[in-house]
């Protein structure tokens, strides 16, 4: 007999030391951006340039106003581990809710609120940069939150 019909991911209690080695930004606005980097498709420089364009479009500065968490496939990251960074807005590109330790059905490009944090899941930056409809969905959300 099976009681659980979904995968259970083992999330380490505190993986922030690994995260802190790669993060950048001052996080003055409480905006945390978690994104997967794949050096074959979209290297870290391409990802940073694309993120700068996104953030600049809403009148913010990537280095000052956000905290960016670039992740490779082998770096674990959970929503709980990000709580130390006082995120008011969390953007996750290229990771699923389950990979972030959230056991809920969350659809990409549909924001949710969890523990006083607005969370927005989207495809990885490479796919997002090449798809006009997905960029439009992100832009509509950004406008509704930051350009009121």
| Domain boundary assignment for the chain | 16-146
**3-class DSSP state of 33:** strand
According to the model, what pLDDT value does residue 11 have? Answer: 46
Choose the weakest-confidence range: 37-41, 58-62, 84-88, 121-125.
37-41
Task: Output phi, psi for 120, to 5 deg.
Answer: -130, 115
> Is pLDDT above 50 for 26?
yes
DSSP letter (8 states) at residue 6: S
pLDDT (average), residues 33-56: 87
Write out pLDDT tens, residues 54-93.
Answer: 999 999 999 999 999 998 877 888 898 898 899 999 999 9
Domain 16-146 has CATH 3.20.20.20: no
Q: Which residue has the higher pLDDT, 78 or 40?
A: 78
DSSP string, 95-134: --TGGGT--S---TT--EEETTEEEEEE--HHHHHT-HHH
Q: Is 101 left (phi over 0), alpha (psi -120 to 50) or beta?
A: left
pTM value is 0.86
């Amino acid at each position: 007999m099976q009681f659980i019909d979904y995968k259970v991911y083992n999330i380490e209690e505190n993986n922030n030391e690994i995260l802190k080695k790669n993060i950048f930004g001052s996080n003055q606005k409480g905006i945390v951006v978690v994104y997967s980097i794949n050096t074959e498709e979209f290297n870290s420089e391409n990802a940073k340039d694309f993120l700068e364009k996104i953030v600049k479009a809403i009148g913010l500065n990537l280095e000052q106003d956000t905290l960016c968490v670039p992740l490779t496939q082998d770096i674990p990251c959970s929503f709980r581990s990000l709580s130390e960074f006082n995120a008011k807005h969390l953007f996750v590109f290229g990771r699923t809710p389950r990979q972030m330790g959230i056991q809920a059905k969350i659809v990409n490009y549909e924001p949710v609120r969890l523990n006083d944090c607005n969370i927005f899941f989207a495809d990885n930056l490479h796919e997002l940069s090449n798809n006009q409809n997905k960029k439009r969905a992100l832009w509509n959300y950004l406008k509704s939150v930051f350009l009121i």
